[in-house]
């Protein structure tokens, strides 16, 4: 449904996006994840026809964003980020704003009221339709932003930071709303917060300094980053860290081994670099050296750790 190929965008000499490619299948939710300034908004603006790319191409439902901008606009709903939340006219009432946007989008007069009510229904804002947007809570402003994006009943929704500035309860509500809309619609959302995309999206594209550093499902991404799992072993008594490092270092398929002394225990954290389960080897090595294992725990790298590994590679 969405096809982005070798997309680049320079603002004068400033590189904002370089050689980014990805696809999104119908009904999927794709998360564009990256720190501020990574290039997420730029990609979204190219997809919505706001900006022309410097290089590469993007297609929505088979239509090129540069060659067929009108066909593209018909099929997408865009919620853009403003200074204090979604870009809306804060002095208008909810209904008059939605009516204004519906006119801009070319909704025929006879259908307009019905279209607006449907969008308000989907986003749960009927009760506030006569309120001034500027006086609504952040959660409701975000819903109005979603409602205006839905007015042309788009196949594709592009949502820039849909949960920024919301409190935890509002975040859960907006997330649910977005999830409910997928399936029928294809969605791209951006965020600089990892758990956010992990919880909402089927697929994640990580952007850093304008380039794509990873693309995967959430589970795959964790697994890929340096083999994925880490194992924590607590040994009774204090062993010499160098000895522990040396002995465990002999096991094949181990990434880094970190040893620290905590309280009266030796704590070892090892990262797997292959796909093999290394717990048995860790056990055997301990027995051979007469170390008593008090605890052994296996855990996946958190997506935060994965993200750090992927985005800080150059500086390491």
Residues at the site binding ligand ADP, with contacts judged by CB under 6 A = 11, 14, 16, 34, 36-42
Closest to ligand ADP by CB, 42 or 186: 42
Beta 63-64 vs 186-191: how paired, if at all? unpaired
Written as six digits, the tokens of 114 are 């019905």
Q: What is the DSSP letter of 135?
A: G
List, in sequence order, every beta strand (DSSP E) within the chain.
Answer: 2-11, 14-24, 29-33, 55-60, 63-64, 76-79, 81-82, 85-86, 156-159, 186-191, 203-208, 211-216, 229-236, 254-262, 265-272, 293-300
Using DSSP, state whether 185 is helix, strand or coil.
Answer: strand
> Residue 14 Cβ, how far from ligand ADP at the closest point, in Å?
5
Token output for 222: 């964790």
Question: Which residue, 37 or 249, has its beta carbon nearer to ligand ADP?
Answer: 37
Smallest distance from ligand ADP to CB 20, Å:
11
For residues 209 and 234, which CB has a smaller minimum distance to ligand ADP in the complex? 209
Q: Which is nearer to ligand ADP, 98 or 189 (CB)?
A: 189
Q: Pick from 160, 209, 163, 202: which is nearest to 1 by CA?
A: 202
Contact 53, 7 (CB under 8 A): yes
What is the distance between the alpha carbons of residues 80 and 41, in angstroms, rounded to a whole number?
A: 8
Which residue lies nearer to ligand ADP by CB, 115 or 200? 200
Smallest distance from ligand ADP to CB 192, Å:
7
Nearer to ligand ADP, 76 or 189 (CB): 189
Contacts of 171 (CB under 8 A, 6+ apart): 163, 196
Strand, coil or helix: 240: coil
> Which residue from 207, 232, 254 is spatially nearest to 298, judged by alpha carbons?
232
- Kindly state the smallest distance separating residue 11's Cβ from ligand ADP, in Å: 3
Q: Which CB, 16 or 306, lies closer to ligand ADP?
A: 16
Query: At its nearest, how many Å lie between ligand ADP and the CB of residue 2?
Result: 17
**Least distance between ligand ADP and beta carbon 196 (Å):** 14
Q: Provide the minimum distance between the beta carbon of 51 and ligand ADP in the complex, in angstroms, as a whole number.
A: 8
């Amino acid at each position: 449904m969405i096809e982005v190929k070798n997309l680049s965008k320079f603002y004068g000499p400033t590189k904002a996006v370089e050689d980014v490619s990805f696809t999104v299948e119908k009904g999927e939710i794709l998360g564009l994840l990256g720190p501020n300034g990574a290039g997420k908004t730029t990609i979204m603006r190219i997809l919505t026809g706001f900006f022309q790319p410097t290089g590469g191409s993007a297609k929505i439902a088979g239509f090129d964003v540069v060659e067929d901008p009108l066909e593209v606009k018909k099929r997408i709903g865009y919620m853009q980020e403003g200074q204090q939340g979604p870009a809306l006219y804060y002095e208008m009432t909810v209904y008059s704003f939605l009516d204004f946007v519906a006119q801009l989008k070319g909704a025929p007069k006879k259908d307009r009221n019905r279209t607006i009510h449907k969008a308000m229904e989907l986003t749960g804002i009927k009760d506030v339709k006569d309120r001034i947007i500027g006086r609504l809570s952040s959660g409701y402003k975000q819903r109005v932003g979603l409602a205006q994006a839905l007015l042309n009943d788009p196949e594709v929704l592009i949502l820039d930071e849909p949960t920024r500035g919301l409190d935890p309860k509002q975040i859960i509500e907006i997330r649910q709303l977005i999830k409910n809309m997928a399936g029928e619609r294809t969605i791209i959302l951006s965020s600089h917060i990892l758990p956010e995309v992990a919880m909402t999206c089927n697929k994640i594209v990580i952007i850093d300094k304008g380039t794509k550093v990873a693309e995967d499902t959430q589970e795959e991404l964790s697994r890929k980053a340096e083999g994925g799992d880490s194992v924590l072993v607590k040994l009774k008594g204090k062993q010499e860290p160098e000895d522990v490092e040396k002995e465990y270092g002999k096991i094949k398929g181990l990434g880094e081994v970190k040893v620290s002394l905590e309280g009266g225990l030796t704590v070892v954290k090892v990262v797997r670099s292959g796909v093999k389960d290394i717990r048995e080897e860790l056990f055997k090595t301990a027995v051979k050296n007469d170390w008593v294992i008090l605890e052994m725990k296996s855990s996946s790298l958190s997506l935060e750790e994965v993200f750090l590994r992927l985005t800080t590679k150059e500086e390491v």
